[in-house]
């Protein structure tokens, strides 16, 4: 058994440096019998919590440190220890700093704060010696290791013994005795070179002369020797140079000279110590001294995770911070009582409703008090109230909606009693994880909310959470290509072909995915590309860089900065170096403040409704809900809609949802969801909750959807394993969908409480724990008298459920904005679409929303220099109809600052005023002119083409005495106002204007891009989307359109199914491609924009239809397209039967065929099928150009 401990080891969380995960490093150390292991990542504690967990699981001690850049005044590193009057700092090497252990967290806290100091500089990440000394204190809470990369190590490498001595004396003078040691590392490099034995020997020799301790280490970068190749790639990426240009000689801080940087065994490190001693002319005694010193420091630095880092001990904000002088428990109870009076005014004292309410509230308050979380709930309530006071829309999501306390405090808008939600799904005494409350806010206001939270609670108690961005296939290929020196254009072509799979599956994807067939052939015949594939797979999931988490905010007491290091985020606020997986073990309570674009879109819609209509009666009349008594209560006196007060039984809203015209609606706009709502036909909010809960990977993969639909619509008889379970399963017609139903089943049949039931539920699906759950269930169910057959049947349900299903509280929380968005679309579609355009919350490109506006008959008003604003606005047309005016901000290539100046100068009477008041650059003026924004100023003097031609002919000279802004138009525009333009140029054709709009707006406002293909589509016999619903199931068709969405969701059978949605100007077509169709379609699956499909119609409900595609073509490739008469040719029999393999896949299809059995039982209304007709066309030569402009 080895007694050696590695004091210097970088994990994969040292981005572009470390190779192995903390778990791999700890496992290697434990396998060798090493008693402990240090994690000393570069620049932070990014892998610290994973290191702690890995050491615990491996049964070894944890040591923690950091490898930081040492900063010195400019010139000091080269010209002497004294820096003179130099004030600028520069890197002077790297040092490893370890936290002392078993001191109540003093050393760990000092390390956290020192790292935060290192990141506080604007230009460099690093620390000065004096800052290290200050953090170490007089009691030696930190230990500094001066390794080969340190200033001392660099002096030794240069054989500058005088400077080496001076630097080492300075370290010894600034730090307490025993708090500094020289770290000897030998990677067996060439004699005298960096990381050579001689280099290490020179460092130890001077340390001995000065009485400074020395240790032996290996500067570990990977767990096993085969990690060296990956480290080479990371070195090249860090240097931004190919490996062949890195050179043969390594330097401190550069690349590894050889592959010796693995976590060596204790025996190997003992040999290394003897080699260093021998190089100094010393014997075994010195080698043993090096090993002894290493062991001594390891013992001093081994952490007690509970006492030193607060492992598993939640810390909540102090009660006084939120103005509570007394007991937080009593204050929480008082506020909940006030919430009861406000939200349950009809719960009379002594009534059954009042008793149920009191029992539930008492239960929750007791659990919260026992766990010590009252301050946390009050803090979250304070945050929620603060967001509301800011005028920002907000709503809780997730399992927190199960809590009555959250509802009474105003954190959640979901009544858990009404929806029969279970508190223990969110929190109980048996839960080992901390409560997780998520609050959705308007995405446009998220940063403002963050700043307000910091301002309210102080930066000593609040920090943002970070996240590690890991390598995926595309990024890995690009970086490996750089390392291997592969031509950049070739690497770029490779990366573009890799779509949604992990780097570790690269070679498997080459073999299996038809769209990669051509690439696979190249790889098999090209040695460098073959190596690129191997190395790409090695980078899979390695951390690449840290960034701000999109929603996590950490709330704690004033000790927070001693428990996590922080560094500046992209928005300037501090963020923790820990990610979401580190929160629970470190006892850090986080609040997820999610920026949701749909919340911003709805807020914009509400603001537009108020602005346009103003009076409550006008708002209600426009929305179609004005009654004889006037506007309803949810319309405020100023015309502001209270979406939280909407009636939840609005028939027009549910009619819209059932129609499947849910494009833009929260949660129900995807192709699969549009199909599911068509089949399910929701009529209540609870139906919406079920719909949202069913459309999740778990329910779909466990085949819950089809049985539910058949039972709901009466095509199958509802079955219950036992009458006792009817109350638990009745709302989903006997099908187990929700987590809460599993809890109820377990409680009924075993007699356990909900807290125990939730623990059991979490263990379902676990290969290590499921047998224990089964034993418990069978034993207690039998004890309660259930027959063996019933127990077997129910256990089959529980085991099949596993980790599938969905928390009903999640579904209930999502159902609120889903219903609100559908209500807005049903009653105020113009304002709703304006909000969608402004905040772009959906899965589809904006140009599809233009097509939706056309379908709804809403005018789209063009850019106008006077009428357009900084946002998309609702505008009343001359005929009284409401339209949507395009925003100035949507023009490609025009800066935000320019459009703000343009809007500030409105209104304009002449082009001269535009030029002088807005300061637009010439290119920006031309863009606006090409889009017709200045048409209102022309006053009959030519058109936009005349204007552009005139400007293009003008010299760029300026009038005397005037100087332009950079890039600004130098044309003397005042002259233009006094002369008549030379006119005669024709206006752009419809096709030309569409292409201009796509190029500058990414929208086809004048008409649809597919108009140019009308003659071709008519010749081929393509069926428009609007006519598909009139076709029988299994009809052979050709459909075409612009790609708007591509998905490859997880499937129950494991095989890939590709879903492609296209838009043809008359509607959307959802196409499904199984394996055979993918093979036939090849590269068109992901890389082609304009698509033509041959396939079979599939009825998916009374109002739903999709196409099972058999093949896809590039619509722009006229030579490859099928010829006219393709469908009716003798080689194309009218009745096309599915191949057996495709038939089986259809049956397994999770989303598009969950109710395949329903297809033959729906009522189909057959309509007239007419050929696709469009308005006008552009020359075929323009097709390729159009394709490049889309998306």
Percent of the chain residues topping a pLDDT of 90: 70
| Percentage of residues in the chain having pLDDT higher than 70 | 88
pLDDT of 1182 > 70? The answer is: no
**Pick from 339, 383, 380, 376: nearest CA to 360:** 339
Residues 460 and 490 grouped into a single domain: no
Helix (H, G, I), strand (E, B) or coil at 39: strand
Instruction: Say yes or no to pLDDT of 947 above 90.
Output: no
Is the model's pTM score more than 0.75? Answer: yes
Residue 845 inside a domain? The answer is: no
Region of 84 please: left (phi>0), alpha (psi -120 to 50) or beta: left
Enumerate the β-bridge partners of residue 37. 6, 62
Residue 96 falls within a domain, yes or no?
Answer: yes
Structure tokens at 456: 């309210």
Give the integer Cα–Cα distance in Å for 379 and 494.
50
Judgement on whether residues 412 and 478 belong to the same structural domain of the protein: no
The number of domains in the chain is 6
Asked if 1078 and 1111 count as a contact pair (C-beta separation under 8 A), the reply is: no
Q: Select from 281, 309, 337 the last residue of a domain.
A: 309
Q: What is the four-CA torsion angle of 170, 175, 181, 185, rounded to 10 degrees?
A: -60
User: Long-range contacts of range 747-752, CB-CB < 8 Å, 24 or more positions apart?
Assistant: 748/724, 749/722, 749/724, 749/725, 749/777, 749/780, 749/781, 749/784, 749/786, 749/791, 749/794, 750/776, 750/777, 750/780, 750/781, 750/784, 751/780, 751/783, 751/784, 752/780
DSSP string, 896-915: HHHHHHHHHT---SSHHHHH
Indicate if the alpha-carbon torsion angle 19, 20, 22, 26 is positive or negative: negative
Mean pLDDT, rounded, for 252-279:
94
CA distance 118 to 565: 10
Same domain, 880 and 737: no
> Residue by residue, what is the 3-state secondary structure of 706-733?
HHHHHHHCCCCCCCCCCHHHHHHHHHHC
Bridge partners of residue 1094, in order along the sequence:
1038, 1111
- The string of pLDDT tens digits covering residues 409-460 is 999 999 999 999 999 999 999 887 778 889 999 999 999 999 999 999 999 9
CA atoms of 39 and 7, how far apart (whole Å): 8
Peptide bond into 907 cis (omega under 30): yes
Confidence of residue 744 (pLDDT cuts 50, 70, 90): very high
Classify residue 776: in a domain, yes or no. Answer: no
Contacts of 615 (CB under 8 A, 6+ apart): 639
**Structure confidence at residue 1175 (pLDDT):** 31
Confidence of residue 730 (pLDDT cuts 50, 70, 90): very high
User: With bands split at pLDDT 50, 70 and 90, how would you rate the model's confidence at 513?
Assistant: confident
| Radius of gyration, alpha carbons of the chain | 34
Residue 1064: predicted pLDDT: 94
Domain boundaries, position 479: 472-541
In the predicted structure, residue 461 carries a pLDDT above the cut 90: yes
Residue 336 belongs to some domain of the structure: yes
Q: Per residue in 1151-1178, pLDDT tens? A: 333 333 333 332 222 233 333 333 333 3
Q: Give 555's DSSP letter.
A: E
pLDDT of 192 = 86
Does residue 248 sit within a domain?
yes
Joined together, the tokens standing for residue 750 give 């075993």
Q: What is the CATH number of the domain that holds 518?
A: 1.10.10
Please check whether residues 1118 and 1038 belong to one and the same domain: yes
Which segment of 788-792, 1020-1024, 1054-1058 scores lowest on mean pLDDT? 1054-1058
Q: Helix, strand, or coil here: 53?
A: helix
- How many of the other CB atoms lie within 10 Å of CB of 851? 25
Phi, psi (degrees; rounded to nearest 5) at 873? -130, 150
CA 877 centroid distance within chain: 40
Q: Is the dihedral of CA 142, 148, 154, 159 positive or negative?
A: positive
- Does residue 741 or residue 502 have the better pLDDT? 741
Task: List all residues 6 or more positions away from 74 whose beta carbon is below 8 Å from its beta carbon.
Answer: 83, 86, 87, 88, 89, 90
- Pair (205, 63) in one structural domain: yes
Count the neighbouring beta carbons within 10 Å of the beta carbon of residue 705. 24
* Residue 1100 pLDDT greater than 90, yes or no: no
- Mean pLDDT (whole number) for 1025-1029: 94
Predicted pLDDT of residue 387: 97
- pLDDT per residue over 274-296, tens digit each? 999 999 999 999 999 999 999 99
**pLDDT for res 1131:** 55
What is the reported pLDDT for 123? 83
What pLDDT score was predicted for residue 986? 66
Residues 563 and 578 in one domain: yes
- The torsion angles phi and psi of 548, rounded to 5 degrees, stand at -70, 130
- Better-scored residue on pLDDT, 579 or 323: 579
End-to-end Cα, the chain, rounded Å: 62
In a domain, 850, yes or no: no
**231 vs 763: CA distance, rounded Å:** 38
Q: Give me the residue label for tokens 């810390």.
A: 315
pLDDT at residue 1020, rounded to an integer:
92
Look at the block and give the residue holding tokens 């979380």: 373
pLDDT tens-place string over residues 82-93: 544 446 889 999
Domain boundary residue among 309, 332, 364? 309
pLDDT in tens, 363-386: 999 999 999 899 989 999 999 999
Instruction: Tell which of 558, 575, 598 closes a domain.
Output: 598
- Sheet of 873-876: strand order equals 860-861, 882-885, 873-876
Q: How far is CA 466 from CA 569, 578, 783, 1014, 1100, in A?
A: 8, 6, 49, 51, 43
DSSP assignment of 449-491 equals HHHHHHHHH-TTTEEEEEEEEEP-HHHHHHHHHHHHT--HHHH
Same domain, 330 and 245: no
pLDDT per position as a tens digit, 569-626: 999 999 999 999 999 999 998 999 999 999 999 999 999 999 999 899 999 999 999 9
Integer Cα distance of 286 and 214 in angstroms: 10
pLDDT value of position 1123: 85
Q: What is the dihedral of CA 28, 30, 34, 39, to 10 degrees?
A: 60
880 with 932, same domain: the answer is yes
Kindly state the average pLDDT of the residues 671-693. 94
C-alpha distances out from residue 403 to 331, 342, 355, 1090, 1099, Å: 17, 17, 17, 49, 41
Q: Got the DSSP string for 289-319? A: HHHHHHHHHHHHH---HHHHH-TT------G
Residue 665 domain-assigned (yes or no): yes
**Residue whose token pair is 């129910």:** 794
Taking the C-alpha atoms of residue 620 and residue 155, their distance in angstroms, rounded to an integer, is 80
| 1034 and 1130 share one domain | yes
Residue 836: what pLDDT? 97
Segment (H or E) for 209: helix 197-210
What is the C-alpha separation between 92 and 126, in angstroms, rounded?
10
Is the same domain home to 676 and 732?
Answer: yes
| Together in a domain, 1016 and 972 | no
Q: What are phi and psi of 753, to 5 degrees?
A: -85, 175
Cα 105 to the center of its chain, rounded Å = 34
Mean of per-residue pLDDT scores for the chain: 88
Q: What are phi and psi of 344, to 5 degrees?
A: -125, 60
Q: Which helix (H) or strand (E) holds 998?
A: helix 990-1001
Phi, psi of 1034 (to 5 degrees): 85, 10
Across the range 645-656, mean pLDDT stands at: 97
pLDDT higher than threshold 70 for residue 255: yes
Is residue 1190 pLDDT above 70, yes or no?
no
Q: How far is CA 1077 from the centre of its chain?
A: 31
Question: How many angstroms separate the CA atoms of 255 and 258, rounded?
Answer: 9
Given this model, what pLDDT does residue 766 score? 81
> Is pLDDT larger for residue 1141 or for residue 1094?
1094
* Residue of higher predicted confidence among 947 and 425: 425
d(CA 215, CA 184): 6
Q: 3-class SS at 185? A: strand
Q: Which of 1135, 1129, 1159 is nearest to 1147 (CA)?
A: 1159
What is the per-residue DSSP string for 1088-1117? Answer: -SEEEEEEEEEEEETTEEEEEEEEEEETT-
Shared-domain flag, residues 814 and 877: no
Residue 488 lies in a domain: yes
Tokens 């999502």 belong to: 814
Is residue 101 scored above 70 in pLDDT? yes
């Amino acid at each position: 058994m080895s007694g050696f401990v590695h004091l210097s080891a970088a994990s994969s969380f040292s981005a572009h440096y470390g190779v192995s995960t903390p778990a791999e490093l700890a496992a290697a150390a434990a396998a060798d019998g090493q008693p402990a292991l240090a994690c000393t990542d570069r620049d932070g504690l990014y892998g610290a919590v994973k290191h702690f967990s890995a050491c615990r699981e491996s049964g070894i001690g944890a040591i923690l440190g950091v490898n930081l850049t040492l900063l010195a005044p400019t010139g000091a590193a080269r010209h002497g220890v004294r820096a003179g009057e130099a004030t600028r700092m520069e890197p002077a090497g790297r040092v490893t700093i370890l936290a002392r252990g078993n001191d109540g967290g003093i050393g760990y806290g000092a390390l956290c704060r020192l790292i935060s100091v290192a990141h506080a500089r604007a230009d460099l990440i690093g620390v000065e010696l004096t800052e290290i000394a200050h953090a170490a204190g007089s009691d030696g809470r930190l230990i500094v290791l001066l390794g080969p990369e340190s200033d001392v190590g660099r002096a030794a490498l240069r054989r500058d013994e005088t400077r080496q001595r001076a630097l080492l004396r300075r370290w010894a003078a600034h730090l307490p005795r025993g708090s500094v040691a020289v770290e000897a590392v030998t990677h067996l490099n060439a004699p005298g070179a960096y990381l050579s034995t001689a280099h290490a020997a020179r460092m130890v020799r001077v340390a001995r002369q000065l009485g400074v301790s020395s240790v032996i280490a290996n500067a570990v970068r990977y767990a096993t020797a085969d990690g060296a190749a990956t480290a080479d790639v990371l070195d090249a990426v860090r240097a931004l140079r190919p490996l062949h240009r890195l050179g043969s000689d390594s330097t401190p801080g550069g690349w590894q000279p050889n592959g010796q940087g693995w976590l060596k065994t204790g025996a190997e490190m003992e040999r290394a110590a003897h080699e260093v001693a021998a190089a100094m002319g010393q014997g075994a005694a010195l080698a043993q001294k090096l090993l002894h010193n290493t062991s001594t420091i390891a013992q001093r630095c081994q952490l007690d995770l509970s006492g030193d880092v607060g492992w598993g001990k939640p810390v909540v904000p102090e009660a006084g911070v939120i103005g509570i002088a007394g007991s937080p428990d009593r204050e929480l109870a008082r506020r909940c009582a006030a919430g009861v009076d406000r939200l349950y005014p009809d719960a009379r004292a002594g009534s059954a409703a009042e008793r149920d309410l009191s029992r539930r509230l008492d239960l929750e308050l007791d659990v919260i008090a026992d766990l010590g979380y009252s301050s946390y709930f009050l803090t979250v309530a304070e945050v929620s109230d603060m967001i509301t006071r800011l005028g920002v829309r907000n709503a809780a999501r997730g399992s927190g909606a199960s809590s009555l306390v959250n509802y009474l405090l105003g954190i959640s808008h979901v009544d858990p009693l009404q929806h029969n939600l279970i508190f223990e799904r969110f929190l109980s005494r048996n839960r080992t994880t901390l409560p997780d409350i998520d609050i959705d806010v308007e995405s446009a206001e998220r940063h403002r909310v963050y700043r307000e939270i910091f301002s309210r609670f102080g930066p000593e108690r609040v920090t943002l959470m970070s996240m590690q961005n890991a390598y995926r296939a595309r990024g890995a290929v690009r970086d490996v290509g750089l390392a291997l020196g592969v031509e950049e254009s070739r690497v770029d072509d490779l990366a573009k072909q890799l779509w949604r799979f992990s780097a570790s599956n690269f070679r498997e994807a080459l073999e299996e995915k038809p769209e990669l067939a051509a690439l696979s052939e190249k790889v098999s015949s090209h040695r460098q590309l073959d190596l690129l594939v191997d190395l790409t797979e090695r980078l899979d999931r390695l951390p690449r860089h840290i960034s701000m988490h999109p929603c996590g905010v950490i709330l704690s007491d004033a000790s927070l900065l001693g428990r996590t290091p922080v560094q500046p985020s992209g928005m300037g606020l501090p963020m923790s170096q820990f990610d979401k997986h580190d929160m629970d073990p470190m006892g850090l309570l986080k609040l997820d403040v999610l920026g949701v674009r749909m919340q911003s879109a709805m807020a914009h819609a509400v603001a537009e409704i108020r602005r346009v209509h103003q009076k409550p009666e006008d708002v209600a009349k426009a929305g179609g809900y004005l009654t004889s008594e006037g506007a309803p209560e949810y319309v405020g006196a100023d015309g502001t809609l209270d979406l939280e007060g909407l009636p939840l039984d609005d028939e027009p809203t549910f009619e819209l949802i059932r129609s499947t015209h849910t494009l833009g609606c929260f949660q129900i706009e995807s192709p699969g969801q549009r199909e599911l709502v068509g089949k399910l036909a929701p009529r209540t909010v609870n139906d919406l909750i079920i719909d949202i809960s069913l459309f999740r990977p778990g329910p779909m993969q466990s085949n819950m959807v089809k049985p539910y639909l058949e039972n709901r619509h009466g095509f199958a008889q509802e079955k219950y394993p036992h009458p006792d379970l009817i109350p638990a399963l009745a709302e989903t017609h006997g099908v187990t969908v929700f987590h809460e139903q599993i809890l109820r089943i377990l409680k009924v049949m075993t007699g356990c409480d909900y807290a125990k039931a939730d623990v059991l539920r979490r263990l379902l699906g676990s290969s290590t724990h499921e047998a224990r759950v089964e034993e418990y269930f069978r034993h207690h169910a039998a004890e309660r008298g259930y027959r063996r057959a019933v127990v077997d049947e129910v256990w089959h349900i529980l085991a099949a459920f596993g980790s599938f299903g969905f928390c009903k509280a999640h579904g209930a929380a999502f159902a609120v904005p889903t219903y609100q968005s559908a209500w807005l679309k049903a009653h105020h579609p113009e304002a709703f679409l304006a909000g969608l355009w402004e905040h772009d919350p959906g899965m589809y490109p904006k140009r599809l929303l233009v097509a939706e506006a056309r379908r709804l008959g809403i005018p789209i008003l063009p850019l106008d220099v006077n009428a357009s604003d900084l946002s998309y606005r609702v505008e009343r047309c001359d005929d009284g109809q409401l339209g949507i005016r395009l925003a100035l901000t949507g023009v490609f290539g025009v800066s935000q600052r320019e459009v703000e100046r343009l809007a500030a100068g409105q209104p304009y009477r002449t082009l001269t005023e535009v030029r002088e008041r807005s300061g637009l650059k010439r290119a920006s003026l031309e863009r606006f002119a090409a889009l017709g924004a200045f048409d209102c100023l022309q006053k009959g003097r030519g058109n936009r083409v005349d204007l552009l031609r005139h400007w293009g002919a003008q010299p760029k000279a300026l009038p005397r005495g005037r100087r332009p802004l950079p890039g600004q138009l130098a044309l003397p525009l005042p002259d233009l106002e006094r002369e008549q333009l030379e006119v005669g140029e024709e206006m752009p054709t419809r096709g030309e204007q569409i292409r201009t709009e796509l190029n500058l707006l990414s929208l086809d406002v004048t008409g649809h891009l597919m108009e140019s293909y009308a003659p071709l589509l008519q010749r081929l016999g393509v069926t428009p989307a609007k006519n598909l619903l009139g076709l029988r199931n299994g009809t052979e068709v050709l459909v075409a359109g612009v790609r708007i969405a591509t998905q490859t969701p997880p499937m129950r059978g494991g095989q890939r199914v590709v879903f492609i949605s296209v838009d043809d100007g008359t509607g959307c077509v959802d196409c499904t491609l199984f394996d055979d169709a993918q093979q036939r379609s090849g590269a068109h699956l992901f890389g082609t924009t304009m698509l033509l499909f041959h396939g079979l119609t599939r009825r998916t409900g009374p109002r739903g239809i999709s196409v099972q595609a058999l093949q896809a073509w590039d619509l722009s490739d006229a030579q490859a397209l099928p010829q006219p008469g393709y469908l009716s040719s003798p080689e194309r029999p009218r009745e096309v039967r599915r191949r057996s393999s495709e038939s089986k896949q259809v049956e397994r299809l999770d989303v598009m065929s969950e109710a395949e059995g329903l297809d033959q039982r729906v009522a189909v209304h057959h309509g007239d099928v007419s050929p696709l007709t469009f308005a006008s066309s552009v020359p075929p030569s323009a097709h390729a150009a159009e394709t490049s402009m889309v998306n």
